[in-house]
Amino acid sequence: MTKLQNKIIDIFFDLIRFDTASDPYSKSFPSTEALSNFAEYLAGKLASMGFENIRIDDHSYVTAFLPSNTDKDCPAVGFIAHTDTSPDYNGKMIKPLIHENYDGKDIVLKNGVILSPDEFPFMKNYIGQSIITSDGTTLLGADDKAGITEIICALKYFIDNPQIKHGNVKIAFTPDEEIGRGVDFFSTEDFACDLAYTIDGGELGEFSYENFNAAHANVLIKGKNVHPGSAKGIMKNSALIACEFVSMLPEKETPAKTDGYEGFFHLCDFKGNVSETKLEFIIRDFDKISFENRKELMKKITADLNKKYGENTVVLEMDDSYYNMKEIIDKYPSVKDIAVEAIRLAGVEPKILPTRGGTDGCWLSFDGLPCPNIFTGGHNFHGPYELVVPESMEKAVRTIINIILIIGGNEYEKL
């Protein structure tokens, strides 16, 4: 491994020691005390590495500022990653494993977890390289502590080499991105950047400036429970009506059957009995018209079932969560051009892909800060199959460095 890769691994392993899963049921911000504690630790780590202008605010946003050392009038750039890990899987007591000189065969972990190139063909791209996984009992935490690590290592390069010219550079580490609250209290005005990038993507070379339009839907179905022996013509089984609701959605438009630019309805939760059943959905689509059509279908199904079973049998509550950042990013072509050039200068061919999810950058873009997403080098996030490749992490670090150099050394239209 290179010297930089060893530094990356040291920092990454240090950060994933902390269980920072966010809590979707919490009413506080950040959602857990552990995230506040991690913010304090992270700020201290930055200080020990020579970072200055470090700040933690009341919401556990950690920011730092590298002032310009050039006379050129160039845009201020920001880099953002999130401190929380997914609450979908155990993130306690992570025990990372390094599989050096990967041979292209199955990687067998605990709990029957097998990372196989038959199931995950991308693994063959990393033959001869190193792969980092958990031991199979936890997720790894590369989403997004790999991003934090890469931002730290990139800016450390400029701290250690003050003779290299650059413009104003800012970094921010945010909590609760995994539960959709990452920038609820983030001030783009205080951050004072002209453009920014989230370092929260996946495979080597991935660059995204498109994401889903997203909505969240709760469906409450009210039944009528009487003794089953005398229920004919009287009972309304809410669980069966719930099954009917689900069956009226397009069968092939689910996450397991879609990819690329295809949208979906995702049934996240189903709880109930004869008397009452609750369904929870997320709705996703890249195209705004198709997105609106999906929401209209949910309303139509609700109306049809109420007509069939009685008014207010089915109650639908639906709210938009976020929108496709492409409509914002397209107004700032330099943001895309800079990233594509930086990735190529790192020796990687950019893979411009839509993000089948949302990032902090989506919300920030609609708040006036164009903020597409750059790869971290990880795969299979949110579970025991998660992995990250140190060689790809090094390329992410070099991409960040290149962005700073490009902005500081070339003339781009002020954003």
**CA–CA separation, 336 and 413 (whole Å):** 13
> Which pair of tokens denotes residue 157?
């390069």
In this structure, which amino acid lies at residue 409? Answer: G
The CA distance from 235 to 368, in Å, is: 53
CA 312 to chain centre: 36
Structure tokens at 242: 């719930």
Distance spanning both ends of the chain, measured CA to CA: 39
Q: Please pick, among 144, 177, 194, 386, the residue that the annotation labels catalytic.
A: 177
**Taking a C-beta distance cutoff of 8 angstroms, is the pair 23, 32 a contact?**
yes
- What's the CA gap between 334 and 78, in Å, rounded? 15
Alpha-carbon gap, residue 102 to 93, rounded angstroms: 25
**Under 8 Å between Cβ of 394 and 129:** no
**Among candidates 149, 137, 204, which has minimal Cα distance to 385?**
137
C-alpha–C-alpha distance, residues 51 and 43, integer Å: 9
Q: Copy the structure tokens of residue 191.
A: 């951050």
* Two structure tokens written together for 13: 């392993």
33 as an active site residue: the answer is no
50: three-class secondary structure by DSSP: coil
386, two tokens: 């998660």
Active site residue 177: yes
Distance between CA atoms of residues 357 and 51, nearest Å:
32
Catalytic residues: 84, 177
